[in-house]
Amino acid sequence: MLVSGGGTNLQALLDAFHDSPLVQIARVISSRSDAGALDRARRGNVPAVVLRKPSDAAELLAALHEIELVVLAGYLQLVPAAVVRQFRGRMINIHPALLPDFGGRGMYGHHVHEAVLASGARESGATVHLVDEEFDRGAIIGQERVPVLPGDTPDTLAARVLEAEHRLLPRVVLDLTRRL
């Protein structure tokens, strides 16, 4: 799992698969040494790595040694092209909006929810997509929709979308694992 932030999606996977014979969270790889996700990894007895230089393909490939499926959640770095090539079709990312809208460079965290609210959209949601050489552009493999409610703020919308993420990501990971 590739992370940069608090790790609630990591927690959702740890909780969903803590005694699964099919899915094992083998390693947590962070682009930041202060990511809250590292504490969750420690509590879950999952080995963790902090990247010295996230743009270094060789370092990331070494950290991904023997990994079958790579899951990005809140990972704020562009994955080097050589790593994307190595894991083509088995590297996924979760994004807090209904792609292809509200994605791309700079569209992360509250920026996404502010843009959704500013657009007047009546729905938002979570998207899981394959990772390619660009932010948030790969093929969509799962989505869950949530309503945008009157009076929503970026925080209230983000909270509703995050709940949808925690339902969607374990479902997609289990489905993909069965097909690997």
* Chain positions contacting ligand GRF, by CB under 6 A: 5-9, 37, 73-74, 94-96, 108, 162, 165
C-alpha to C-alpha distance for 5 and 3, rounded to whole angstroms: 6
Cβ atoms of 27 and 47 closer than 8 Å = yes
Is-cis flag, bond preceding 100, omega within 30?
A: yes
Looking at the annotation, which residues are catalytic?
Answer: 95
CB of 73 to ligand GRF, least distance (A): 4
Which C-beta is closer to ligand GRF: that of 77 or that of 177?
Answer: 77
Which C-beta is closer to ligand GRF: that of 83 or that of 99?
Answer: 99
Across the beta sheet with 2-3, the strand order is: 48-50, 28-30, 2-3, 70-73, 91-95, 123-130, 140-147
CB of 81 to ligand GRF, least distance (A): 20
The amino acid at residue 149 is L
Cβ atoms of 75 and 3 closer than 8 Å = yes
CB of 90 to ligand GRF, least distance (A): 19
C-alpha to C-alpha distance for 115 and 112, rounded to whole angstroms: 5
Which C-beta is closer to ligand GRF: that of 5 or that of 138?
Answer: 5
Which C-beta is closer to ligand GRF: that of 18 or that of 58?
Answer: 18
Question: Which residue's Cβ has the minimum distance to ligand GRF?
Answer: 74
Instruction: Kindly give the residue spans of alpha helices, DSSP state H, lying in 87-126.
Output: 110-119
CB of 72 to ligand GRF, least distance (A): 7
- Exposed / middle / buried, residue 98 (Cβ in 10 Å: 0-12, 13-18, 19+): buried
